[in-house]
Amino acid sequence: MSDDARTLGAGRHLSRRQFLGGTAAALALGGGADATVSAQATPAGASATTDGPGLALINGRIHTMDPDGRIVSQALVRGGRFVAVGDGVGQADAQVVDLMGRTVIPGIIDAHNHIVLVGNRPGWHTPLEHVFTIPNAVAALQARSAQVPAGEFITTIGPIAARQFAEQRLPELRELDAVNRPVYLQAAQGGTRTNTQGREWLEARGVTVAADGSIAGPSVGLALQSLRREWLTPETRRRAALDALQYYATLGITTHRDSGAFHEDEAATGIASENTYRMHDPFLALDREGRLPARLRIDFLHRDAPDADPPLPTLSARLKNSFPFFGNDWLRTGGIGEFTGGGVEGLRAIARAGWRGEDHALNLAGATRLIENRELVNAEIPIADLRWILSHVPAFPPDLADRAHVLGMGVLVGWGPLRSGTDLGPPYRQLVEHPIPVGYHSDGGDITVINPWLNFYTIATGLNLSGEPILGDQTLTREQTLSLATTANKWFIREDDLGSIEVGNHADLAVLDRDCFTVSDEDFKRTRSLLTVVGGKIVHDDGVLPVASP
């Protein structure tokens, strides 16, 4: 999330597409060639194998991401964990998935995004991050409309961008009019759009809509606030939360670390704002019902003013009354971030309480100040064992990495595909060659996309989604990129038994629809998961691979 996301909130927009968990009916994605998403997805929980006979994966190219970098053909899962990984591990009494030579990777860990915001979007939020042309986006929205009652909004708010489309723009009103429902798109990059049905509803609430369906300036905040007032209820939040997690399971994400939102008590105008004391409710409900299709790790964002009186009004209450790293394997709390708030005094309070703290940096001056403040606190209260995090670092020279490393910190990198400019950073190559822990995050949900493959594309090619070079000579290999998003992220979520396919680890993996290590750059960007497994449970299944009962 960007510091200015709140004000910018008035100009972004989003989307997502979806398999409607819950009801087995998946959204037929309607798209064309670039939207080869299957029309069937397994609803979360429908194929639980955790307590059953077990799951055997055979005939694959399983990239274990273990310390030896082994690639094996088989893995056996029981009780939600890998019990054998290799070639010829046996399959007795197990449900058998024939991988037919497909590439398998450990489930992707997005170590910092804003999935909880995405799970609280008003209307029928429809993700479109796997769609690359406007006709296919419109087709996906048309397909979605079959599930949406007349008069209700189809929305895509946050992780969608003009840059993802070949046309390098968002759909316009005349194109969105092919969808027989009100449509509202608010993109992380490229503007805000509606169609004729949406315009009618929005104009009645004082929103200014241009002839091409564009909404700009303060009208964007008013539009979003109006949608939240009308189309956000506990039930819609539950649906949106499940949809969001289910959608990203189709892209191979099995663990999200959520890095919070800006607090507003009531329906807010900002895309990065929510009621941060209530926004986790739908996810907590899904967890109680055993329906989460991915793991969720929750950090708490605080923004107390350094001169507040009494001091640290929200942060000190949090530290006194909450538990860090508390929960279960599916849903667990984390630390404070991605803003700690309260200045150096806030950092002292977090250090004293023994919590993890995370802040983000938008430029080198900001990153340097953050390190200086932590050095100050560390001299009084050691933080080296607390794994504090700096996220989306920009330029980050080796001497600064040295200083952060001494403090026991790690840095998260990513947040690239929508940016423009040259040598924007982060310096991926320099950082992975440094001993400091480095992990991958999308930071997606409000100011950028969550689709990991769009992010991986930028890291591995150095190009943004418009094809412009933004990373100088700091690109990584695909192997390095994938390892940042899997095994390297163990450190950031403080869990050693995720992120690699090894005996004893949670059985989280994605069977990919292509070999992400060898396909062309354009195809790499379009990678999807055919079958996603979390804790031995099949949470997404395109129905392509034969699955045989024991």
- Cβ 338 to Zn ion shortest distance, Å: 5
The least distance separating Zn ion from the CB of residue 253, rounded to whole angstroms, comes to 16
The C-alpha atoms of residue 120 and residue 239 are separated, in whole angstroms, by 9
**Rounded Cα gap, residues 464 and 470, in angstroms:** 7
Smaller CB distance to Zn ion: residue 110 or 338? 338
Q: Which two tokens stand for residue 71?
A: 């690639």
Cβ-based neighbour number of residue 152 at 10 Å = 16
207: Cβ contacts below 8 Å, ≥ 6 apart? 215, 219, 222, 223, 226
Residue closer to Zn ion, measured from CB, 131 or 294: 294
For residue 479, what are its two tokens?
């192997």
Tell me how far apart the alpha carbons of residues 222 and 213 are, in angstroms, rounded to a whole number.
15
Q: How far is the CB of 114 from Zn ion (least distance, A)?
A: 6
Closer residue to Zn ion (CB): 221 or 445: 445
Q: Of 380, 376, 344, give the one whose Cα is nearest residue 359.
A: 344
State in angstroms the smallest separation of the CB of 112 from Zn ion.
6
Residue closest to Zn ion when measured from CB atoms: 1
Give yes or no for a contact between 80 and 539, defined as CB atoms under 8 angstroms apart: no
When the beta carbons of 164 and 442 are compared against Zn ion, the nearer one is 442
Q: How far is the CB of 414 from Zn ion (least distance, A)?
A: 10
Supply the minimum distance, in Å, between the C-beta of residue 413 and Zn ion.
13
Judge contact between 100 and 226, C-beta under 8 A.
no
State how far the alpha carbon of 84 is from the alpha carbons of 54, 267, 546, 548, in Å.
11, 50, 21, 19
Q: By the 8 A CB rule, do 187 and 162 touch?
A: yes
Binding site for Zn ion (CB under 5 A): 1, 259, 338, 443
Q: Are the C-beta atoms of 417 and 455 separated by less than 8 Å?
A: yes
CB 155 within 8 A of CB 201: no
For residues 47 and 259, which CB has a smaller minimum distance to Zn ion in the complex?
259
The residue (of 424 and 534) whose beta carbon lies closer to Zn ion is 424
- Residue number, 129 or 443, with CB nearest to Zn ion: 443
Coil vs helix vs strand at 173: helix
Least separation in angstroms between residue 272's CB and Zn ion is 8
